[in-house]
Chain A
């Protein structure tokens, strides 16, 4: 198949599949309980018993990285899915109906885009209170704008094309034209964007958790683990380095798949 001639796509898919597998099989493959504190095993360097070493509470870093895959994959996927659905719906409506609906929605998008993404996210989470749920709510409130813009631009072009005009002259309902004819054609560009957005959302979610406003300890999440390791970075580098590498690998997977999809679908960002 195509993948054979695209080694980077294959590698990217392998990274994503690997992360998914690790997340699903966490209880089976993690050698230790990710939150069990063993007072006799504090700050142990990597060894055969603890491949990634242990942290300042004597918890096994490898097991925490494995369990962390569940949370961080969830951040990247759900943090993209909600904005994607909301943005697609709003972008389709704005592009199709035009007029004042479009004008108002576009101004709202301009205003939201004026705020730096992380600043607005942090401000919303400041009100909702820390936690993963607040993160997803803030994501849904902020993240949809890019998708709405992309889809709207596509719809504006598509709705003047012959197939759309033909569908209209056949007397198809507006809903049918919008969602059965225009939207499927408009989605290609945003599917590529989904992948690069997943990287940004993953880094954003991990950063918010690192700051202390996302996932709360003792839950094993990679950003939280980096924050917990920070105080020991000079003496026990492994607490910080391994969860960070996990983020880098997962982000790399999304980027590679996104690039390959862009080439395949002929979409440039």
Chain B
């Protein structure tokens, strides 16, 4: 259990980062020109509501006192109120988590389904035509703009073939899943390009490793050596790679949610920006940042669990 001691210690290292996240989101909203109370409540706020918000956030006091009020409200789960939706930001964000989380998971799953076979072909036929072709395709894949790719997929799979819905999310589970395929695929096609490269390198190293040589010496067929010994080991660093790219992945979902009208946090962020709903922007940015920190922590735990050699 010694190896898992970081699970208790790491959260202490998060504190400065979380503190920093709160400062940045606080400063972001305070940099907006104009009366903060009006910004928080919108242009048509009543004088009594303005007075109440000034007291709640200490807006007449020095900036560092205001930050203290901000932290105090935050620790009480008070992230302000949406001027557009007329409800508190916290429940608003909570109601938008599911589509975004489902999109991220779908994207990761689809990208693994694409990347593992391609990397396997590439690694086992290293330097040959198939490997070259896959390398070129994945180089192109990294540069695919998700907002455009999404539209092209809609054009092919929804409009021309009529297999999948154009946009939206649906109510029931089958409906939701069918609405997630194209957005998930849009993100996955770029993500799998990144994964294929890393998996290919890991598999090539694995094929030349002592483990593989020993397995071959025991008379194990090459296919079994590859899928039983090489692939699982090559997958371990992928966990970390996904965590490193989580920020990029979230950015992708923000864009893709706009393309497919998925009612997730990314769409909420973009709408918040256009309608100057600053509390929503602040809340979503903060939630995404905290999620990024947590995902990296989770990835460390998974890596340690998967690979007994890793010590953190």
CB within 8 Å of B: which residues of A? 8, 107-108, 110-120, 122-127, 196, 199-200, 202-204, 206-207, 210-213, 223, 226-227, 229-230, 233-234, 237, 240-241, 243-244, 247-248, 250-252, 254-256, 259
Question: What is the bound-complex CA distance between A207 and B270, given in angstroms?
Answer: 12
Question: What is the bound-complex CA distance between A118 and B251, given in angstroms?
Answer: 5
Contact present for A119 and B285 (CB under 8 Å): yes
Contact present for A210 and B255 (CB under 8 Å): yes
Task: Enumerate the 8 nearest inter-chain pairs by beta-carbon distance, A residue then B residue, closest first.
Answer: A251-B143, A111-B20, A118-B251, A244-B148, A116-B247, A116-B250, A126-B273, A210-B147
Kindly report which residue of chain B lies nearest to residue A126, judged by CB atoms.
B273
The answer, yes or no, to whether B17 is at the interface (CB within 8 Å) is: yes
Contact present for B288 and A115 (CB under 8 Å): yes
The answer, yes or no, to whether B63 is at the interface (CB within 8 Å) is: no
Max chain B C-beta neighbours (<10 A), residue from A116, A206, A247, A252: A116
- Of the residues A117, A234, A255, contact of B247 by C-beta under 8 Å: A117
Return chain B residues, CB-CB under 8 Å to A118: 250-252, 254-255
Return chain A residues, CB-CB under 8 Å to B247: 113, 115-117, 119
Q: With A107-B16, A123-B28, A123-B285 given, is the CB distance from A207 to B248 under 8 Å?
A: no
Known: A116-B254, A233-B151, A233-B159. 15 other contacts (CB 8 A): A114-B20, A116-B289, A122-B270, A123-B25, A123-B269, A126-B276, A126-B278, A127-B32, A207-B146, A211-B270, A223-B145, A240-B152, A244-B149, A251-B143, A254-B143
Contact present for A248 and B155 (CB under 8 Å): no
Contact present for B274 and A212 (CB under 8 Å): yes
Max chain A C-beta neighbours (<10 A), residue from B20, B136, B282: B20
Q: How large is the interface on B (under 10, 10 to 19, 20 to 34, 35 or more residues)?
A: 35 or more
Return chain B residues, CB-CB under 8 Å to A207: 145-147, 251, 255
Contact present for B248 and A117 (CB under 8 Å): yes
Return chain A residues, CB-CB under 8 Å to B250: 116, 118-119
Residues 225-260 of chain B, each 1 if its beta carbon lies under 8 Å from chain A, else 0? 000000000000000000000111011101100110
Contact present for A234 and B155 (CB under 8 Å): yes
Question: What is the bound-complex CA distance between A222 and B263, given in angstroms?
Answer: 26
Question: What is the bound-complex CA distance between A229 and B151, given in angstroms?
Answer: 10
- Of the residues B16, B252, B255, B289, contact of A115 by C-beta under 8 Å: B289
Return chain B residues, CB-CB under 8 Å to A213: 273
Question: What is the bound-complex CA distance between A8 and B270, given in angstroms?
Answer: 38
The answer, yes or no, to whether B140 is at the interface (CB within 8 Å) is: yes
Contact present for A226 and B21 (CB under 8 Å): no
- Of the residues B32, B147, B259, B292, contact of A116 by C-beta under 8 Å: B292
> Of residues 143 to 171 in B, which have CB atoms within 8 Å of A's CB atoms?
143-149, 151-152, 154-155, 159
Question: What is the bound-complex CA distance between A127 and B34, given in angstroms?
Answer: 11
Return chain A residues, CB-CB under 8 Å to B28: 123-124, 127
- Of the residues B20, B139, B251, B276, contact of A204 by C-beta under 8 Å: B251
Return 7 A-B CB contacts under 8 Å, by A number.
A111-B17, A113-B247, A114-B289, A119-B285, A123-B273, A203-B145, A251-B143
Contact present for A230 and B20 (CB under 8 Å): no
- Of the residues A119, A229, A256, contact of B288 by C-beta under 8 Å: A119
Contact present for B31 and A119 (CB under 8 Å): no
Kindly report which residue of chain A lies nearest to residue B274, judged by CB atoms.
A212
Return chain A residues, CB-CB under 8 Å to B139: 252, 255-256, 259
Question: What is the bound-complex CA distance between A18 and B188, given in angstroms?
Answer: 30
Return chain B residues, CB-CB under 8 Å to A244: 145, 148-149, 151-152
Return chain A residues, CB-CB under 8 Å to B306: none
Measured CB to CB, the closest approach of chain A to B297, in angstroms, equals 11
Contact present for B143 and A255 (CB under 8 Å): yes
Residues 188-199 of chain B, each 1 if its beta carbon lies under 8 Å from chain A, else 0? 000000000000
Contact present for A116 and B16 (CB under 8 Å): no
